[in-house]
Amino acid sequence: MSLVLDLKSLNADGHLDLAVPPETANQWSKHLVIETANPVKIDLKYRFSDQGLFLEGVLQGTILGDCHRCNEPTPGDVELKVRARYLEGTPPRLGERRQDEEGKWGVELDEEAGELEYYSGHHLDLTDWLRDEWALGLPVSLHCGSEACREGAAGGQETRKSIDPRWQFLADLKAQMEEEG
């Protein structure tokens, strides 16, 4: 699914309501052991200025997974606040001299390049940005909140120890370094 906006046809009210089907949201988070139960609702406000297109809003959805403590199927509501600034043009290359929105000249650094999004023409594809926000904002584990589960947590009982799949490569690297050294 592609979430492409035609910038020429945006409403003057500065508001967008979009939805992402559960199948697409599940592809966005396939590295986790949770599923999206219903469409992800996207409520965005936008405004244009001489400093670019500003987007901010909320992604909302219901996810399903197993409770981290008792392994019972557990739903969870997710509400993620998102923000982005898009500039028209091409992304700068590392080390390129550029002028910022205040007119000051400088050299593009790696961290600065990652903070902004870019578009060209009259169409803006929000797919990658929204996918990243959804995938990084989801919880790694769910808790059902049942009485037995709460009592187990209060007693320090965890049925399984898990590593956030988004950071698994660090655990693998640590294990490899321990084997070598």
* Over residues 131-152, mean pLDDT: 82
More reliable by pLDDT, 111 or 55: 55
Q: What confidence score (pLDDT) does residue 92 get?
A: 66
Annotated domain spans of the chain: 4-180
More reliable by pLDDT, 18 or 118: 18
Q: What confidence score (pLDDT) does residue 111 get?
A: 46
Residue 100 scores a pLDDT above 70: no
Residue 75 scores a pLDDT above 70: yes
Amino acid symbol at 10: L
- pLDDT 10s digits, 18-65: 999 999 999 998 888 889 999 999 999 999 888 788 999 999 999 998
Residue 66 scores a pLDDT above 70: yes
Residue 12 scores a pLDDT above 70: yes
